[in-house]
Amino acid sequence: MNRRILLVVAVAAALALGLGAAPRRYVVDGVSMGPGLLPGDVVATGWLPAMDRWRRPARFDRWIVTLPDGSTGLKRVVGLPGETIELLEGDLVVEGRTVLKGPRLLAEIGSGLGPAGQGDAAWSAAPAVVLDDAAFAPGEVSRLLLPVRDGGFAAEVVVSDAAIRAGEVRARATVGPLTVVWRLRAAGRYAVVAGRLDGQAVAVVWPIVAQDSKATLPRHCLPPAAPESWDVVRPWPAATTMAGAEPSPALALAVTGSGEPPAGIERVGRWRDVLLRPAADGVARWSLATDEVFLLGDFPSGSRDCRHFGALDRPALRQRVGGR
């Protein structure tokens, strides 16, 4: 790069900083976006944050917003202009269809239930009633806890070169009535995630590379670098769906091979989905005007959001932000 190009780059950077084009940072205050974001965490906009006022919002984006009382908040967009949305049995329903979260979003807003154990080749967990408690918000202990039906497991599986040379290695995940089998074709570390989510049985496997482990966010409920989409999505059988305190499904994971060399489960933990709650007065359905958006916090019982003061006009969205 010659001196002229360096000069142009330096001038452009200076102009960008002078015009407020550089990313803006905000410090999180409160637990409304927990567990993914907690007090003291920092979120940042992209470059040219002033242009965000003309950006079309996308579902599940996080935005810095101006609240009706004039204060500044951090919330997640769940309803887009012109839509009718509902909070039904803890799930988001848009125009009559339950919205399925992808693995990357689940990693941000789901809650880990702690390590469930590990095993050389197999692990299982019986159905259990899981409540929407929140260890990250001790001030919320007085609230009424509710059962969460959606949950699953997240595991890290290690496959050695010797195991691959010895023969075929497979990972077999079971969630209630669903069983999925993947062939692991190369040595390395893999994430295996499966569960019941938003009325679907879901499962996905992805390789964990060395640099991913450095980016692990300790409050995420899935291993690092979760993909956008699931490998497998199947409707949860209606016959197994019950109202009320339906337990989370039975879970199991097994790693099999044709030889004795190491290939097995290094660690495994359970996760649960966020349980979306209606407004305190029981309202759970909203129809948005063509210039309105609907925003929620990731921790519904600790968030003041559009359930309380209604949809916001589009100009209330100030800047879109990323993670910590």
pLDDT digits (tens, 9 = 90+) for 78-94: 999 999 999 999 999 99
Residue 239 in this model has a pLDDT that exceeds 60: no
By the 8 A CB rule, do 121 and 155 touch?
no
Residue 255's pLDDT is 93
CA–CA dist 272, 154 (Å, integer): 10
Residue 9's pLDDT is 44
Mean pLDDT score across all residues of the chain: 87
Residue 141's pLDDT is 61
Q: Which residue, 210, 237, 235, 234, is CA-closest to 224? A: 210
CA–CA dist 119, 114 (Å, integer): 16
Residue of higher predicted confidence among 113 and 191: 191
Residue 310 in this model has a pLDDT that exceeds 60: yes
Residue 66's pLDDT is 97
Residue 119's pLDDT is 67
pLDDT in tens, 94-144: 999 999 999 999 999 999 987 766 667 899 999 989 999 888 887 766 778
Report angle CA 158, 162, 168 to the nearest 5 degrees.
75
Residue 15's pLDDT is 43
Domain residue limits, the chain: 21-89+278-321, 110-272
**DSSP line for 97-151:** EEPPPPHHHHHHHSEEEEEEEEESSEEEE--B-EE---TT-GGGTTSPP-EE--E
Strand ranges across the sheet with 97-98: 97-98, 91-94, 84-88, 285-287
Residue 1 in this model has a pLDDT that exceeds 60: no
Residue 5 in this model has a pLDDT that exceeds 80: no
Report angle CA 270, 276, 280 to the nearest 5 degrees.
140
Residue 138's pLDDT is 75
By the 8 A CB rule, do 59 and 320 touch?
no
Residue 311's pLDDT is 98
CA–CA dist 122, 115 (Å, integer): 15
pLDDT in tens, 66-78: 999 999 999 999 9
By the 8 A CB rule, do 105 and 60 touch?
yes
Q: Which residue, 51, 225, 33, 67, is CA-closest to 136? A: 33
CA–CA dist 156, 266 (Å, integer): 6
Class of domain 21-89+278-321: mainly beta
pLDDT in tens, 213-226: 555 456 789 999 99
CA–CA dist 294, 305 (Å, integer): 9
Residue 114's pLDDT is 75
Q: Which fold has domain 110-272?
A: Jelly Rolls (2.60.120)
Confidence of residue 10 (pLDDT cuts 50, 70, 90): very low
